């Protein structure tokens, strides 16, 4: 009753406040549907995600990276200061809210800033952020208020790999190699690694000035967004996808003529390292990426099978991120790979994903028309016992809303498993189970207590 009254009052309030944009948006809400840009990963797909994560865990372990779990929301300042306030992310894509204590918090739009924050907070790279390297990876949902389209969601998942504390180009090569190896193990085809250098605080101001002058001299041809942020960040006009800006950006002065000696040498070493490891890569002087924190190396892995949203992975070096959030100097390099897009490309390319995991055993109770309810009880006990022994087992009712199905119907469900354990009145009387190999059709009787040992051999 109280709930009904509460709802009624809320609805009245909403009607009264129609003038607010959010109220009219709320009127369209269908509570039976997820919010726009957010989707469920259903069982038909989620096992594929588990496979991708499993491969990621294997590769990161082989490269010496440890898994870390980070919070999904952080102080808003971490992103405004860390990611940069001229980025699309901070300008218009963050899910920011005020909590009940009055703090401004933001659902993480990316993981790197949180990773650096965690490393500083817990001294993972030594007390002052220096002294030892920390190689970390994590995965989970990120949130950006972007226009949803194929391969672009408002909640999406990333595998994020970060190497903190190492300033040399070998770390950049390692990180790029790790992403490439992950994609190789996943069997992704038709990929391209694109690399660039975006300079550092020493050389970038000069390059920014040259770029600013160049774009200003052609400002009539630029889109409004690029024009709006030309003064604050002319580099962003380089990777604008709008055709009018793109053709102007093609002829823009090249970053390579403006790199300082250190950045140029670093870039040469990164390229040499990739060549040494036989990683084909293309240089793209227009690759600047959408996050302000990058210094020196920036890279992306593009898929030829994704359409407009073609990046499966992006990353680079961010030697000043720690300082920008108030920490000590802590060099870092890493990447984030989009899980939604990885799975999408793999599906498109007909990747095997390994076999869909099936129950090893299906326990069948021979109890047609309720003729032997004890068989169901015994099947329940056996199923549970097998599961506790690490054997994937299923039984009638576990995979269907209709429990107490006929023997025939249960045998049909068992078809995907390797074994059927059949318990009927005859087996019950002798304390046996009929063990049927569903691949060969062979069947033997084994004591009820010995099913596991037979299955394991």
The residue ranges that bind ligand AMP (CB under 6 A) are: 110, 144, 146, 151-153, 156, 158, 290, 311-314, 336, 338, 340-341
Q: CB 110 → ligand AMP: shortest distance, Å? A: 5
CB of 268 to ligand AMP, least distance (A): 24
Find tokens 């869909």 and name the residue.
356
Q: How far is CA 54 from CA 49, 159, 435, in A?
A: 8, 11, 32
Q: Under 8 Å CB-to-CB from 356, ≥6 apart: which residues?
A: 47
- Among the residues of 189-287, which ranges form H helices? 204-216, 224-229, 243-250, 261-276
Nearer to ligand AMP, 56 or 386 (CB): 56
Count CB neighbours of 374 within 10 A: 12
Residues near 457 by Cβ (< 8 Å), separated by ≥ 6? none
Minimum separation from the CB atom of position 392 to ligand AMP (A): 32
Closest approach, Cβ 305 to ligand AMP, in A, equals 13
Beta bridge partners of 106: 74, 96
Q: Structure tokens of 357?
A: 């995991």
Contacts with 266 (C-beta within 8 Å, 6 or more apart), sequence order: 169, 172, 197, 296, 297
| Shortest spacing between CB 313 and ligand AMP, in angstroms | 5
Nearer to ligand AMP by C-beta: 207 or 293? 293
What is the Cα–Cα distance from 218 to 275, expressed in whole angstroms?
37
Query: Residue 421 region, left (φ>0) first, then alpha (ψ -120 to 50), else beta?
Result: beta
Shorter beta-carbon distance to ligand AMP: residue 342 or 422: 342
Burial of 451 (C-beta count, 10 Å sphere; 0-12/13-18/19+): buried
CB closer to ligand AMP, 311 vs 411: 311
Smallest distance from the beta carbon of 194 to ligand AMP, in angstroms?
A: 11
- Give whichever of 176 and 378 is closer to ligand AMP, judged by the CB atom: 176
Q: What Å distances lie between residue 81 and 74, 113, 456, CA to CA?
A: 12, 9, 56
Q: Determine contact, residues 83/113, Cβ cutoff 8 Å.
A: yes
DSSP character at residue 149: B
Q: Which residue is nearest to ligand AMP (CB)?
A: 338
Number of Cβ atoms within 10 Å of the Cβ of 98 = 10
**Min dist. Cβ of residue 358 to ligand AMP (A):** 30
Place of tokens 């009624």: 8
- Pairwise CA distance, residues 342 & 49, whole Å: 9
**Between residues 158 and 197, which has the closer beta carbon with respect to ligand AMP?**
158
Nearer to ligand AMP among residue 303 and residue 366 (C-beta): 303
Cβ of residue 89: shortest distance to ligand AMP, in angstroms? 8
Q: How far is the CB of 310 from ligand AMP (least distance, A)?
A: 9
In the bound complex, what is the minimum distance in angstroms from residue 37's beta carbon to ligand AMP?
A: 8
Those residues whose C-beta lies under 8 Å from the C-beta of residue 309, and which sit 6 or more positions away, are: 149, 150, 151, 152, 341
Residue with tokens 């199923």: 383
For 26, counting Cβ atoms within 10 Å of its Cβ (0-12 exposed, 13-18 middle, 19+ buried), the class is exposed
Toward ligand AMP, which CB reaches closer, 59 or 386? 59
Q: Classify residue 385 as exposed, middle or buried by CB count within 10 Å of its CB (0-12, 13-18, 19+).
A: middle
Q: Give the residue with the Cβ less far from ligand AMP, 290 or 377.
A: 290
CA dihedral 108, 109, 114, 115 (to 10 degrees): 130
Between 296 and 341, name the residue whose CB sits nearer to ligand AMP: 341
Using DSSP's 3-state secondary structure scheme, residue 359 falls into coil
Residue 436 CB, shortest distance to ligand AMP, in Å, is: 45
Minimum CB distance to ligand AMP, residue 293 (Å): 11
């Amino acid at each position: 009753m109280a709930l009904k009254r509460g709802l009624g009052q809320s609805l009245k309030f909403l009607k009264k406040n129609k003038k607010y944009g959010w109220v009219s948006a709320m009127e369209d809400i269908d509570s039976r549907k997820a919010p726009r840009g957010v989707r469920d990963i259903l069982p038909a797909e989620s096992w594929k995600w588990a496979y991708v994560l499993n491969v990621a865990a294997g590769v990161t372990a082989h490269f010496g990276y440890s898994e870390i779990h980070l919070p999904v929301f952080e102080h808003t300042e971490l992103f405004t200061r860390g990611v940069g306030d001229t980025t699309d992310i901070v300008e218009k894509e963050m899910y920011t809210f005020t909590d009940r204590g009055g703090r401004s918090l933001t659902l993480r739009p990316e993981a790197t800033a949180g990773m650096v924050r965690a490393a500083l907070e817990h001294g993972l790279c030594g007390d002052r952020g220096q002294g030892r390297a920390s190689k970390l990876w994590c995965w989970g949902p990120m949130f950006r208020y972007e226009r949803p389209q194929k391969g672009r969601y408002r909640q999406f998942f990333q595998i994020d790999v970060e190497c903190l504390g190492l300033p040399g180009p070998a770390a950049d090569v390692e990180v790029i190699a790790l992403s490439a190896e992950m994609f190789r193990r996943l069997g992704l085809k038709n990929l391209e690694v694109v690399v660039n250098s975006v300079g550092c605080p020493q050389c970038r101001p000069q390059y920014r000035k040259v770029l600013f002058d160049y774009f200003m001299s052609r400002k009539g041809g630029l889109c409004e967004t690029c024009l709006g942020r030309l003064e604050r960040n002319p580099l962003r006009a380089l990777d604008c996808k709008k055709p009018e800006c793109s053709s102007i950006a093609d002829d823009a002065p090249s970053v390579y003529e403006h790199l300082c000696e250190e950045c140029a040498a670093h870039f040469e070493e990164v390229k040499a390292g990739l060549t040494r490891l036989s990683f084909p890569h293309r240089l793209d002087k227009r690759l600047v990426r959408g996050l302000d924190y990058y210094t020196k190396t920036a890279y992306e892995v593009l898929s030829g099978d994704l359409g407009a949203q073609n990046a499966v992975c992006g990353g680079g070096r961010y030697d000043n991120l720690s300082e920008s959030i108030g920490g000590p100097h802590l060099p870092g390099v890493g990447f984030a790979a989009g899980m939604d897009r990885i799975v999408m490309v793999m599906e498109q390319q007909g990747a095997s994903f390994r076999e869909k995991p099936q129950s090893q055993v299906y326990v069948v109770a021979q109890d047609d028309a309720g003729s032997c309810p004890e068989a169901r009880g015994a099947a329940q006990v056996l199923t549970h016992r097998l599961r506790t022994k690490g054997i994937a087992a299923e039984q009638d009712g576990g995979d269907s809303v209709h429990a107490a199905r006929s023997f025939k119907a249960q045998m049909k469900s068992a078809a995907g498993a390797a074994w059927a354990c059949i318990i009927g009145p005859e087996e019950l009387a002798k304390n046996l189970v009929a063990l049927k190999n569903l691949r060969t059709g062979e069947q033997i009787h084994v004591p009820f207590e010995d099913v596991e040992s037979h299955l394991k051999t």
